[in-house]
Chain A
Amino acid sequence: MSVAQQTVKKFLNDPEDIVTESLAGLGAAHPDLVRIDFENQLVLRKDAPVQGKVALVSGGGSGHEPLHGGFVGLGMLDAAAPGAVFTSPVPDQMLAATKAVDGGAGVIHIVKNYTGDVMNFKLAAEEAADEGIEVESVLTNDDVAVEDSLYTAGRRGTGATVLLEKIAGAKAEAGGSLAEVAAVARKVNDQARSFGVALTSCATPAAGTPTFDLGPDEMEFGVGIHGEPGRRREKVRSAAEIVAEMSEVILGDLNPAGGSNVLAFVNGLGGTPLIELYLIYNELTKHLEDRGLTATRSLVGDYITSLEMAGVSITILVLDDELTELWDAPVHTPALRWKA
């Protein structure tokens, strides 16, 4: 896999400033919802800390917008700690976020399973504990493209992270205890599986060139959200064939009981238009019906992206009454809003 040499055009001033300038824009666009702590590079809920409420902190490399900063607000996250593009934030950021949002009921760290994120959050959680703040870490690892074995870093955290942040955020807003919020968060992760496919590479602002070469007729099957290659590279097929195999991999691993209700999440990776995402959703419903599953809730759009990558990920979450109720609860963040 060689690095392609062509330059990818981007709206930039200095590539080094992309995260700061983007955060400034987020804060300016949504002053009623969030405030930006530039010193620690954090997005904080406007009214944080909310006294007596369990606080939710997430973080990770930038380049996945709206994840995580766009999900800060009522009914979702209390703070997001964005790192450099595709690079985990540092423990100082997570510690500062934890201290800024702790309302006395404890703090949940939502960590996507990547080596860097896990290590940096671990160091931050240890320091927070030293300062007397109770922290529960919840790991997301829903990506079935990665074989979960002793011989890998384990499954990656992808689409389920969005659903988890919404549902756990609702549980916290409803007054759930630290243990209760952590339990429902882990339930979401346990009952969700994801799989992604890329049609083009992304290009980090610092590199300026595509992270990997993908021929005009090729796709990366099982791609990750950082442009890291997936299971295999193959010729592009029809959407029906691609979605059929994605569904098979996801549902084969999740193995939901017939008759289950599910949340079907079709997520754009940044460079795929909504018209194609809905086409994919249409294909997906056929496979859900074939297995006797009903998509009682849905989410379609760009929620966890990989810069300008053209591609899609599908996440299926098995719902029960509790998860459905929490999904439906009011939310008001820059990127997700209903009933509030």
Chain B
Amino acid sequence: MSFNGEAKVNTGTVHRWFVEAASNFHEQRDYLTQLDAAIGDADHGTNMDRGFTALLEKLDGFDGPPGKLLTTAGSTLVSTVGGASGPLWGTALRRAGRSLGSGDEFDGAQLATALEAALDGVVELGAAQEGDKTMVDALGPAVRVFRESIDDGTPVPAALAAAREAAEQGMKATVPLQAQKGRASYLGERSIGHQDPGATSTVLILAALERSVASER
């Protein structure tokens, strides 16, 4: 499989994505929990690590199209993560999976549509907009940049790299923001000066997607 021109993504790619993401969360678990302790309740790293560990167990030996893999993964996160991150990431993956339908592989444009569906699901459930100091501050720009890159004819791996960079910028931009949603909003002005843990997790997930695709080339 190659990404020269008409790139395709399949079940193997998605499975590698989650393996990479689980490894990221395991390594960054304490860091995320520390970020959360500053403006939340000190459980984000633990929760994401637990969810992605459960996800890998659930997907072991999975046989089916990538869309089905994503919806199964989403349901697993809803069932294991708890907090707000479980429903939000679970909904994101389920929506992305539904968007992909039952095809065995998909291209950059379909991936862009799936990521847009994921973002819509998160915004709908969380009622957060960009600038509220949430995961949407990283996911929103990433999805937008990915779509623009694909429309410009950029190959999927480079488009994912651009999306991840946009997410990183969005994540860093959460530092000076005052939280307007989630538990950090209780802090009011005191949430300023801290990086949002949810936006940070978003970068980890997108970086995992980027690596899973790059490793195929």
Contacts and interface: CB of A to CB of B under 8 A. Distances in A.
B207 interface: no
Interface residues of A, number: 41
Contacts of B185: 151-153
A204 B42 contact: yes
A86 interface: yes
B42 A86 contact: yes
B182 interface: yes
A325 B188 CA distance: 40
Contact of B187 (A2, A84, A85, A228): A228
B190 A229 contact: yes
Interface string A146-172: 110011110010000000000000000
Contact of A3 (B38, B47, B125, B183): B38
A66 interface: no
23 contacts: A3-B34, A3-B42, A84-B47, A84-B82, A85-B43, A86-B41, A86-B42, A87-B83, A92-B78, A115-B126, A116-B87, A119-B125, A120-B87, A146-B186, A147-B188, A152-B188, A153-B183, A153-B185, A207-B37, A212-B37, A227-B42, A229-B190, A230-B186
Contacts of A226: 41, 183
Contact of B79 (A90, A147, A229): A90
Nearest to A226: B41
A87 B183 contact: no
Contacts of B21: none
A211 interface: yes
How many B residues are at the interface, by size bracket?
Answer: 35 or more
Contacts of B41: 86, 204, 211, 226-228
A150 B131 CA distance: 14
Contacts of B79: 90-92
B15 to A, nearest CB: 23
B88 A119 contact: yes
A151 B134 CA distance: 13
A3 B37 contact: yes
